[in-house]
């Protein structure tokens, strides 16, 4: 089944990862609505600049994009009818702070330590992605003018932490990281290559090669795009149903979705020390150990399941160098864990395996499911976002650097929250007891985490234990946003949302 999406109606950030289109810079703004009428007028003005999902030809690509979303209290401030507000799901109504126990935001990730802006009431998220910082700034200046023209209707909130803790910035900037020659890279601050795996859904692309390893696995071992309704309200999902998280009227929800925004600080000093210490007792190179934490090698993203030791990585690199562009892409993404059910190659607690087990959870459960990945296909997310800040001293944790993580999904509770709670911070589904995922787990300083690198059953080898895992990632802020379609934006702006 091929589905034609109404690309002119869908916000562009849902269908496109702007980073893949050379948008190397981003700026995120958060606003409060102080007056319903003027707030709606402001939304109407911004809607004229909102970037849709229309396909870009080479010479029609904008230099900057704009997208917009609202918290539940933002929709209240815009005076949506009560009957519409009542249709939003519980987790969205509660917001990210209210869900801290489910997300594991404890200790240093507790909302009381988040950037000051998150002590404010946030109503609107506005994002600008640009091909240069000048393009971002030009669009930012335009938005400032609209804020001024709203005449007290909306306020740009300050309170983002910058280089100094006392900084009180009016926006959060994000950017790709650059190499020593100033070339943009796909790296994040721990040195991993990022931005390879991302879900693909029906209607998003006609290019079959993009679906490999990113869609859903069929019994015959082919990859197909996931159902559109996993990522867009008003469309059929993997359960052959319409997402239950859609508010009324239908037009308000149709072609919209939910976004999780999270500022995640990376404790680079702790990561480097932990890697150094653990590599002293690890039977392999330090780079192999780092790869086993993530499921991909840091230098080029080679999947550990296909390059599980130093020798096989050297072989993988040779084949990669000899492959053409399409062949290289396939080597990076087209894999499963079916030949590694015990986790002897890619540990079960590796970041990408915990978050997307690719059918390995149902493996061997004969005929129980229509597809080998039927369970994981309901837990997928679209990843957007970029790194922020610079690491000044790789031996220290403090400062302002990490990832602005944004996930899009039709059902925050079933998709993002389930992954964060059950697969990152617990391991029941993986039969790994209380072991948390290495990189993201909310490891406790007083009671540091451990994970096991499994061996093949019956091999007689001893498993390897990684101990003393410190808290490597800390939440520094965030919330849940509704990303309406462009039709719904116009309805909200016009005050004509009619739930009857
Ligand atoms: C600072 C925090 C994080 C870091 C450093 C990080 C790093 C990485 C890296 C290096 C990869 C491998 C490259 C790739 O496959 O694209 C990856 C993949 C991925 N990450 Fe993260 N990540 C972070 C946070 C998160 C969070 C919070 C989630 C979701 C709850 C998440 C979900 C994913 C997913 C879905 C993939 C692709 C997995 C696949 O399809 O195989 N990441 N991440």
Q: Which residues contact 371 (CB under 8 A, 6 or more apart)?
A: 216, 217, 218, 219, 359, 377
pLDDT surpasses 80 at 364: no
Residue owning the nearest CA to atom 6 of ligand 1: 194
Average pLDDT over residues 242-265: 97
Q: Is the minimum distance from the CB of 357 to ligand 1 under 6 angstroms?
A: no
Q: Is the minimum distance from the CB of 405 to ligand 1 under 6 angstroms?
A: yes
Counting ligand 1 atoms within 8 A of each CB, the residue from 195, 217, 263, 383 with the most, and so the one to mutate, is: 383
pLDDT digits (tens, 9 = 90+) for 92-119: 999 999 999 999 999 999 999 999 999 9
pLDDT surpasses 50 at 1: no
Average pLDDT over residues 324-337: 96
pLDDT surpasses 60 at 2: no
Q: Is the minimum distance from the CB of 257 to ligand 1 under 6 angstroms?
A: no
Q: Is the minimum distance from the CB of 126 to ligand 1 under 6 angstroms?
A: no
Q: Is the minimum distance from the CB of 188 to ligand 1 under 6 angstroms?
A: yes
**How many of the other CB atoms lie within 10 Å of CB of 35?**
15
pLDDT at residue 307 in the model: 98
Q: Is the minimum distance from the CB of 440 to ligand 1 under 6 angstroms?
A: yes
Q: Is the minimum distance from the CB of 420 to ligand 1 under 6 angstroms?
A: yes
Residue owning the nearest CA to atom 37 of ligand 1: 197
Buried-state track 461-500, b at ≥16 Cβ within 10 A, e below 16:
eeebebeebbbbbbbbbbbbbbbbbbbbbbbbbebebebe
Residue 116: exposure state from Cβ atoms within 10 A (0-12, 13-18, ≥19): middle
pLDDT at residue 50 in the model: 98
Q: Which pair of tokens denotes residue 67?
A: 């997208």
Q: Which residues contact 379 (CB under 8 A, 6 or more apart)?
A: 414, 415, 418, 419, 423
Q: Is the minimum distance from the CB of 351 to ligand 1 under 6 angstroms?
A: yes
Q: Is the minimum distance from the CB of 213 to ligand 1 under 6 angstroms?
A: no
Average pLDDT over residues 273-301: 97
Q: How close is the Cα of 402 to the center of ligand 1, in Å?
A: 13
Residue owning the nearest CA to atom 8 of ligand 1: 194
How would DSSP label each residue in 299-354?
Answer: TT--BGGGS-SHHHHHHHHHHHHHS-HHHHHHHHH---STT-TT-SSS-TTSHHHH
Nearest residue to 409 via CA among 130, 89, 176, 7: 89
- SS3 at position 45: helix
pLDDT surpasses 70 at 166: yes
Mean pLDDT across the chain: 95
CA dist., res. 16 & res. 148, Å (int): 31
Q: Cβ(219)–Cβ(371) under 8 Å?
A: yes
Q: How close is the Cα of 181 to the center of ligand 1, in Å?
A: 26
CA dist., res. 406 & res. 255, Å (int): 18
CA dist., res. 21 & res. 54, Å (int): 13
Percent of the chain with pLDDT over 90: 86
**How many of the other CB atoms lie within 10 Å of CB of 443?**
23
pLDDT digits (tens, 9 = 90+) for 371-392: 778 889 999 999 999 999 999 9
Nearest residue to 416 via CA among 245, 290, 291: 245
pLDDT at residue 500 in the model: 84
Average pLDDT over residues 334-358: 94
Residue 324: exposure state from Cβ atoms within 10 A (0-12, 13-18, ≥19): exposed
Of ligand 1's listed atoms, the one at least distance from the Cα of 403 is 1
pLDDT surpasses 90 at 58: no
Q: How close is the Cα of 179 to the center of ligand 1, in Å?
A: 21
Q: Is the minimum distance from the CB of 383 to ligand 1 under 6 angstroms?
A: yes
Q: Is the minimum distance from the CB of 303 to ligand 1 under 6 angstroms?
A: no
Counting ligand 1 atoms within 8 A of each CB, the residue from 191, 337, 352 with the most, and so the one to mutate, is: 352
pTM over 0.85: yes
**How many of the other CB atoms lie within 10 Å of CB of 371?**
17
Q: Cβ(416)–Cβ(481) under 8 Å?
A: no
pLDDT digits (tens, 9 = 90+) for 186-233: 999 999 999 999 999 999 987 888 999 999 988 888 899 999 999 999
CA dist., res. 295 & res. 358, Å (int): 13
Grade residue 447 by pLDDT with cuts at 50, 70 and 90. confident
Q: Cβ(276)–Cβ(494) under 8 Å?
A: no
Q: How close is the Cα of 351 to the center of ligand 1, in Å?
A: 7
Q: Cβ(14)–Cβ(408) under 8 Å?
A: yes
Q: How close is the Cα of 436 to the center of ligand 1, in Å?
A: 15
Q: Which pair of tokens denotes residue 95?
A: 């917001």
Average pLDDT over residues 309-321: 98
pLDDT at residue 366 in the model: 67
CA dist., res. 36 & res. 34, Å (int): 7
Cα within 13 Å of Cα(333), Cβ side: 24
pLDDT at residue 224 in the model: 94
Average pLDDT over residues 401-411: 98
Q: How far is CA 388 from CA 175, 195, 472, in A?
A: 6, 15, 16
Q: How close is the Cα of 261 to the center of ligand 1, in Å?
A: 14
Q: How close is the Cα of 378 to the center of ligand 1, in Å?
A: 17
pLDDT at residue 279 in the model: 97
């Amino acid at each position: 089944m091929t589905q034609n999406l109404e690309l002119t109606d869908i916000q562009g950030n849902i269908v496109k990862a702007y980073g893949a289109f050379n948008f190397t810079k981003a700026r995120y703004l958060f606003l409060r609505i102080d007056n319903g009428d003027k707030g709606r007028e402001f939304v109407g003005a911004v809607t004229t600049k909102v970037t849709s999902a229309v396909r870009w030809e080479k010479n029609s690509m904008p230099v900057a994009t704009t997208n917009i979303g609202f918290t539940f209290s933002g929709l209240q401030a815009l005076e949506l009818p009560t009957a519409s507000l009542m249709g939003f799901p519980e987790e969205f109504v509660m917001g990210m702070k209210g869900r801290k126990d489910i997300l594991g935001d404890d200790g240093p990730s507790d909302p009381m330590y988040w950037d000051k802006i998150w002590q404010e009431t946030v109503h609107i998220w506005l994002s600008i992605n640009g091909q240069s910082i000048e393009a971002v700034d030009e669009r930012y200046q335009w938005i400032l003018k609209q804020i001024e023209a709203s005449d007290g209707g909306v306020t740009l909130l300050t309170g983002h932490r910058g280089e100094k803790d006392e900084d009180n910035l009016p926006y959060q900037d994000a950017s790709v990281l650059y190499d020593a020659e100033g070339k943009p890279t796909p790296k994040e601050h721990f040195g991993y290559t990022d931005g390879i795996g991302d879900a693909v859904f029906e209607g998003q692309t006609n290019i079959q090669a993009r679906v490999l390893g990113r869609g859903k696995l069929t019994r015959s071992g082919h990859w197909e795009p996931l159902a559109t309704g996993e990522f867009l309200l008003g469309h059929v999902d993997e359960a052959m149903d319409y997402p239950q998280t859609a508010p009324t009227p239908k037009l308000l929800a149709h072609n919209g979705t939910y976004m999780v925004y999270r500022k995640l600080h990376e404790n680079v000093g702790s990561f480097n020390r932990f890697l150094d210490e653990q590599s002293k007792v690890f039977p392999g190179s330090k780079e192999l150990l780092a790869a086993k934490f993530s499921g991909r090698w840091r230098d080029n993203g080679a999947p550990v399941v296909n390059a599980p030791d130093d020798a096989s990585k050297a072989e993988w690199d040779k084949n990669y160098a000899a492959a053409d562009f399409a062949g290289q892409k396939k080597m990076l993404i087209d894999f499963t864990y079916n030949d590694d059910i015990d986790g002897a190659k890619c540990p079960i607690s590796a970041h990408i395996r915990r978050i997307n087990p690719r059918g390995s959870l149902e493996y061997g459960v004969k005929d129980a499911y229509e597809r080998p990945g039927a369970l994981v296909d309901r837990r997928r997310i679209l990843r957007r976002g970029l790194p922020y800040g610079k690491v000044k001293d790789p031996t220290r944790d403090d400062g302002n650097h990490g990832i602005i993580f944004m996930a899009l999904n039709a059902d925050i509770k079933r998709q993002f929250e389930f992954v964060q709670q059950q697969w990152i911070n617990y391991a029941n589904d993986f039969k790994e007891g209380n072991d948390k995922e290495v990189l993201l787990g909310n490891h406790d300083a007083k009671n540091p985490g451990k994970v096991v690198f499994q061996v093949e059953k019956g091999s007689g080898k001893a498993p390897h234990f990684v101990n003393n895992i410190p808290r490597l990632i800390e939440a520094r802020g965030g919330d849940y946003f509704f990303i309406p379609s462009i039709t719904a934006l116009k309805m909200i702006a016009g005050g004509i949302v009619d739930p009857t």
